[in-house]
């Protein structure tokens, strides 16, 4: 018996899902049209209502287009910077969205299999399942949480006020619930009283979140201090070249020598050599110049492990005689370690990837005392993982991220990364200082607002004042567990009540 082909109209629905996914790029930074995300998800839900048996296809198409549109900059890192040939780089760029799209695909496959009860499907099952699958992809295969729909609400949306309560996954749940309310209202619009009740529920959700925005969950500690954040703007293709080495060292020395602040931070691997291999006297000159001005100085630089067998992506406090350091623990696959070397190792013969075998620094590293503050550092995309920052933030008054996004050229990656840092500031009630090589170097306050930002792709030092904070937000006390347990219970109820005969 021949296979039954999907109706032509279903293909139009799939094309619609692709278009909706591609439009999600405008919901995130740098565009920040936060209201767009619930509308796009609602339109996707209405497609599934029209063709419930195509739930997986529509969800997969939506995810494939969304993640390709949002993460197309990976091609620049693989091809333009690392030198991977285009015929290899292009398929690898599509490989990540092809994997990530499985999660919305599975969510809508399950939704399509439930009984056609709009309230159950869209107010219970949909937000619960979407939240759980986004949490799942945030740790599976080391995790990739970029593009979670909750980030689209940081910080312009009223829903961003939910981040200190339950983290980014609670914001994600609220976005999915908002979309579900729209779908349910669209399906039940003829039942006027019920549709009106759904509208009231949506207004209560957004209005209640807006009422939480002025709440300060943590409290100031100590006096404000002046900070300076270096942005060297060294092209990644030149960063590790011997003939640019001296220029790099002098550029950062000049920034330190001409800056007056209580605390200065230079970005990830700002000094492109192991700490013990830097020219004799350079560190003494750098730290001495800062110390004479009473300025604490922390610098991103590779370190060797204690046994000398490995190396670390680290930040070192040069003006402290003990030279305390923080070393990155959550490493980037392919960029900082080789996953499944027997399977993927052959790729490195085509790429220029210096220091692609970092060691982990270890969990729960203590904050570093600098300029009367306790600074919890994170490196590069470590600020994508909210729950991992809770422990260090609890003992810190400031958060600081050092990054080098020159790998991704003049792309949206810089703005998207800044939005992740804003979410971490909101969750922990701590300011976030960002020192980056090419952008976005920024000062983010304890409520996630951008106080100052340096123009990307320029050499400069961003200066400003920042206030340290102490105390725990509700999210710091409970982590992701309440949201995940709640979502799992809702999904269980929906599964039991929505089973088809």
CB 218, CB 471: distance < 8 Å: yes
Q: Give the total residue count for the chain.
A: 501
Question: Within a 10 A sphere around the Cβ of 216, how many other Cβ atoms?
Answer: 13
CB 58, CB 108: distance < 8 Å: yes
Residue with tokens 């599976």: 140
Please give the Cα distance from 140 to 132 (Å, whole number): 12
Out of 49, 134, 268, 382, the active site residue is 268
> From residue 424, how far is each of 315, 385, 390, 418, 459 by CA, in Å?
19, 8, 9, 10, 26
Please give the Cα distance from 27 to 153 (Å, whole number): 8
Please give the Cα distance from 131 to 7 (Å, whole number): 31
Angle at 257 between CA 453 and CA 313, to 5 degrees: 65
Please confirm, yes or no, whether 328 is among the known catalytic residues: yes
CB 42, CB 182: distance < 8 Å: yes
CB 367, CB 374: distance < 8 Å: yes
Please confirm, yes or no, whether 427 is among the known catalytic residues: no
Question: Helix axis angle, 481-497 relative to 126-137, nearest 10°?
Answer: 130
Please confirm, yes or no, whether 268 is among the known catalytic residues: yes
Where is 12: in which H helix or E strand? helix 8-23
Please give the Cα distance from 266 to 299 (Å, whole number): 5
Q: List strand residue ranges (DSSP E) for 62-175, in order.
A: none
Residue with tokens 């800062």: 290
Out of 134, 239, 336, 380, the active site residue is 380
> Coil, helix or strand for 229?
strand
Residue 436, strand partner residues: 403
Interacting residues of 84 by C-beta distance below 8 A, sequence separation 6+: 78, 92, 347, 350, 351
User: In 3D, which of 386, 363, 396 has the Cα closest to residue 471?
Assistant: 396
> How many Cα atoms occupy the beta-carbon half-sphere of 415 within 13 Å?
17
Please give the Cα distance from 292 to 172 (Å, whole number): 48
Residues with catalytic function: 268, 328, 380
């Amino acid at each position: 018996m021949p296979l039954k082909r999907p109706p032509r109209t279903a293909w139009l629905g799939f094309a619609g899902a692709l278009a909706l996914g591609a439009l999600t790029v405008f919901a995130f930074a740098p565009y920040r049209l936060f209201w767009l995300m619930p509308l796009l998800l609602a339109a996707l839900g209405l497609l599934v209502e029209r063709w419930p048996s195509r739930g997986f296809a529509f969800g997969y198409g939506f995810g494939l287009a969304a993640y390709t549109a949002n993460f197309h900059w990976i091609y620049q890192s693989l091809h333009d910077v690392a030198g991977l040939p285009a015929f290899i780089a292009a398929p690898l760029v599509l490989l990540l969205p092809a994997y990530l799209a499985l999660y919305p695909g599975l969510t809508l496959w399950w939704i399509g299999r439930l009984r056609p009860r709009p309230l159950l499907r869209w107010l219970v099952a949909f937000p619960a399942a979407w939240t759980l699958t986004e949490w799942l992809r945030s740790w599976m295969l080391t995790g990739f949480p970029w593009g979670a729909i909750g980030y689209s609400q940081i910080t312009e949306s009223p829903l961003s006020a939910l981040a200190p309560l339950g983290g980014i996954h609670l914001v994600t749940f609220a976005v999915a619930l908002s979309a579900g309310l729209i779908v349910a209202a669209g399906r039940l619009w003829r039942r006027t009283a019920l549709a009106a009740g759904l509208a009231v529920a949506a207004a209560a959700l957004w209005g209640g979140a807006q009422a939480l925005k002025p709440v300060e969950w943590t409290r100031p500690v100590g006096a404000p201090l002046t900070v300076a954040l270096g942005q060297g703007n060294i092209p990644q293709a030149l960063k590790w070249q011997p003939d640019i080495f001296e220029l790099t060292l002098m550029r950062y020395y000049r920034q330190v020598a001409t800056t007056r602040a209580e605390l200065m931070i230079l970005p990830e691997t700002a000094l492109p050599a192991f700490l013990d291999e830097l020219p004799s006297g350079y560190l003494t000159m750098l730290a001495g110049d800062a110390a004479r001005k009473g300025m604490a100085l922390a610098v991103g630089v590779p370190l060797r492990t204690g046994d000398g067998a490995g190396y670390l992506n680290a930040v070192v406090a040069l003006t402290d005689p003990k030279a305390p350091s923080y070393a990155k623990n959550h490493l980037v696959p392919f960029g900082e370690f080789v996953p499944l070397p027997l399977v993927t190792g052959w790729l490195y013969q085509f790429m220029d990837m210096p220091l692609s075998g970092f060691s982990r620094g270890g969990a729960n590293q203590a904050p570093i005392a600098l300029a009367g503050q306790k600074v919890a550092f994170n490196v590069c995309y470590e600020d994508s993982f909210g729950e991992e920052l809770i422990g260090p933030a609890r003992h810190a008054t400031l958060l600081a991220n050092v990054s080098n996004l020159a790998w991704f050229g003049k792309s949206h990656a810089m703005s998207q990364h800044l939005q992740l840092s804003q979410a971490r500031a909101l969750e922990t009630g701590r300011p976030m200082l960002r020192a980056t090589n090419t952008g976005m170097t920024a000062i983010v306050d304890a409520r996630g607002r951008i106080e100052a930002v340096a123009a990307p792709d320029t050499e400069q030092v961003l200066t400003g004042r920042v206030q340290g904070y102490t105390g725990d937000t509700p999210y710091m006390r409970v982590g992701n567990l309440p949201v995940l347990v709640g979502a799992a219970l809702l999904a269980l109820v929906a599964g039991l009540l929505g089973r088809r005969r």
